[in-house]
Amino acid sequence: MDTTPEQPPHSPSQPPQPRSSARGPESERGPEPEHPEGAEPPGRPEGAEPPGRPEHPPRPAYDPPPAHAPRAPWADGVRFAFGTLTVLPVRVTRWDRQAAHAGMLCAPLAGLAVGLCAAAVGGALLFLGAGALLAAVATAAIPAVLTRGLHLDGLADTADGLGSGKPAEDALRIMKRSDIGPFGVITLLFVLLGQVAALAQLYGQDWAHGAVAAAVAGVAARCSLTLAARVGVPAARPEGLGAAVAGTVPWRSAGVVAAVAVAGCAVAAAPFGPYAVVRHAFAALAALVAAELLLRHCRRRLDGVTGDVFGALAETAATTALVILTFG
């Protein structure tokens, strides 16, 4: 029989050992007190993060724009297109990125209106007994009148800037001058001569061929502006029309507008036969390709686009379309 005296549960010289548990240290503290949903636990400062959670990054000082910015109504887009690309009495009610997006999508409509006005003047002169050359001169002059010569001025300024061979900053400074240099004069001369010669040849066939060509040239010229305003094409300056519209048109929207424009140019030539349909579609497509090549060159040389570059693109596309239509 064991006569060893019974030891007390805890000897004064040996502290009690904690009871092991598979639940870990949290179980020794007992269950957390329940709190109403959304209430802060007592003892925690208001607004403090719970212990053990990572801190949130600081909130930016501005609210970032929504992923999908609201679109401007199409009526505002039409007013933007006609108010900025023509001198027609249209009041621009909005001047923001959303209106610029809708306006550049509607740019071919403004080109169609300009082309039809030019064709009407040429047809009136032919009806009054004027020759094809005079009708061609008037048809080439009407777009300049309806745009205040801004596209031709942009063409001359772009030619001066690119022809200078200087870095982007110096070339942009040259383009901003009010005078026109030798490169601009030569470019204007040959472009206008090419347009008049092509229109005279087309009017020599009959008025309808010249009228349709003027409309195709107007649509292709403004459609090139829609493509130049696509996302990914930066503005070379922080101000001006180029900065207002650069990067406002998504790629898919620009492609849809270009496809519709080319198809419309082909349909307009349907009365002339199947070969004319193909030729007019090819002329519109070639005009957009020529403008795209110039756009890429301007991006390399000027690091972006300006209002002058937009004018140069429009005149390049219009001239290319007219010249292609004289073939065959």
Of 216 and 30, more confident: 216
- Whether residue 51 is contained in a domain is answered as no
User: Average pLDDT of the chain?
Assistant: 84
- Whether residue 251 is contained in a domain is answered as yes
Angle at 125 between CA 122 and CA 131, to 5 degrees: 95
pLDDT reading at 26 higher than 50: no
- Whether residue 41 is contained in a domain is answered as no
Name the percent of the chain lying above pLDDT 90: 70
317: burial class by Cβ within 10 Å (0-12, 13-18, 19+)? buried
Question: 33: helix, coil or strand?
Answer: coil
- Whether residue 28 is contained in a domain is answered as no
Q: Which of 257, 284, 150 is nearest to 248 (CA)?
A: 257
pLDDT reading at 27 higher than 60: no
Give this prediction's pTM.
0.78
**How many domains, the chain?**
1
Q: How confident is the model at residue 129 (pLDDT cuts 50, 70, 90)?
A: very high
- Whether residue 12 is contained in a domain is answered as no
- Whether residue 285 is contained in a domain is answered as yes
Give the helix/strand (H/E) hosting 227: helix 207-228
Measured distance CA(182)–CA(195) in Å, rounded: 20
- Whether residue 133 is contained in a domain is answered as yes
Mean pLDDT of all residues in 9-28 = 43
DSSP 44: S
Measured distance CA(72)–CA(79) in Å, rounded: 11
Say how many CA atoms lie within 13 Å of 246 toward its Cβ: 22
Domain that holds residue 255: 74-325
pLDDT reading at 79 higher than 50: yes
- Whether residue 128 is contained in a domain is answered as yes
**Predicted local distance difference test score (pLDDT) of residue 51:** 52
Mean pLDDT of all residues in 168-195 = 95
**Predicted local distance difference test score (pLDDT) of residue 11:** 42
